[in-house]
Amino acid sequence: MTPPPFRRRLLGALLLCSAVEAQALEGDRIRPSVGAVYTYTDNVYYLDERVTPNFLKGGQRSDQILGLRLGLDADHYWQRQTFTLRSTITDNRHVTYDTLDYRSYNAKATWNWVYDLRWDGDVGVERTQVASNFYDFGNNSRLSRNLRTQQAVFASGMMKMSADWKLRAAVRFADITNSQAQFTTQDTQQKTLEVGSRYYSKGTDDYLGLNFRVLDGEYPNRQVVAGSRVDNAFRQYTLEGALEYQLSGLTRLTGSAGFTTRRHSELSQRDFNGVTGRLTAIHTLSSKTSVSASAFRELGTWEDSFNNYVVTQGFSITPSQQLTDKLSVQASFAYRQRSFEGDPDFAQGNVPKREDSFQAYSLTASWLPLRQTRIDTTLSYDTRSANDAFAALAGASNFKVVTFMVSGQITF
């Protein structure tokens, strides 16, 4: 029987990658991989238990998803320069709701450059495509997938001022688009400029730093608010401290925290001022046991008739245990609280501000039966509680979802 067209293309690409690996220069690393993912979810549309939309087939909320994945990682070394490629593509097929089938991918190529003894940095391009989460959609928007595609180019450079002190600058240009027409007002073009400095601990990669970042955001498809087209372009300033530091022999701290100011060109009612950042502590209890904890408050893009951005704050705790040389387990609990901000006053009227909270529990086991083979199994339970501001859009606002996933990957 002739394989389906997509699988024939995967097989052909895999054989090509294997042939390229044989011709690689000495010292280069080319690692093609192939994998499969099976997922079962008891609530594929993230629906509230109190509603049963008419698009469900026989009232069925569950579904199974089969994914076929192809990856290619490569590293090329030339003198002191390093060129890297990281890429995967996954074809996802639903057993029941085939209108949700989609293809996700990510590809990132980077040149890590070094010049003389004082200069180093990177230059690169990346492109990703992912499916938007259903839990923020109304019922009419759940009939098919919205795919978010991001294209970006970036560059950074650091100049060594002394044995322990470096100056850093970085730029990034990103273009984000949505596949469904009702979400094109969220298409965004972003330009980011960052400057700062890092002070390193002697003889290590640990550092304390200070960053200043400017982000310009533009929406090419203007939003309609109260019958008028609104330009939601903004400029965002962030001043933050950053660190990568071994606090003690057992605890390592990473992350950044500071203050962010966001200003809108037309609607000052949508401006924002507040503390933002993410800090992570990793504590090693033994050679096989560790615990990671993070706390965060971040500003994200969101746009509808009432809101222009979302403030997300919360924390996560992740203990890990290496049971044997080939088997490890990891548990996780995460809590997120989201507040949807940026109402221009004249649009929302008496509708309360939308807020919700998430709790996510998961348990993952990773097994390495062979040196180049990996199998991961994850069981997760996610819940959301939201106020009534979202009920008019989605029919109801809470959900519970149980997901079971098994994935396997072979790296050549």
Q: pLDDT digits over 321-337, tens only? A: 999 999 999 999 999 99
The parts of the chain modelled with pLDDT lower than 50 are 1-4, 6-7, 10-24, 303, 305, 346-348
Which pLDDT score is estimated for 267? 73
Which ranges in 282-344 belong to alpha helices (H)?
none
Q: Which residues touch 79 (CB under 8 Å, ≥6 apart)? A: none
Which pLDDT score is estimated for 269? 76
Q: Which of 156, 134, 154, 155 is nearest to 144 (CA)?
A: 134
Residue type, 366: S
Pairing mode, strands 119-131 and 234-246:
unpaired
CB–CB of 97/63 below 8 Å? yes
Q: What is the pTM of this model?
A: 0.82
Q: Could you give the C-alpha distances from 27 to 23, 40, 77, 191, in angstroms and in order?
A: 12, 42, 7, 36
Task: Cite the beta strand spans of 132-250 per DSSP E.
Answer: 147-160, 165-178, 188-200, 207-218, 223-225, 228-230, 234-246
153-181 pLDDT, tens digit per residue, is 999 999 999 989 999 999 999 999 999 88
Q: Which CATH number fits domain 108-411: 3.40.30.10, 2.40.170.20, 3.40.50.720, 2.170.140.10?
A: 2.40.170.20
Which pLDDT score is estimated for 7? 44
Q: SS3 helix, strand, coil % of the chain, rounded to 5?
A: 10, 60, 30
Which pLDDT score is estimated for 183? 81
Which pLDDT score is estimated for 134? 81
Which pLDDT score is estimated for 387? 79
Q: Other CB atoms closer than 10 Å to residue 109's CB: what's the count?
A: 15
Which pLDDT score is estimated for 265? 79
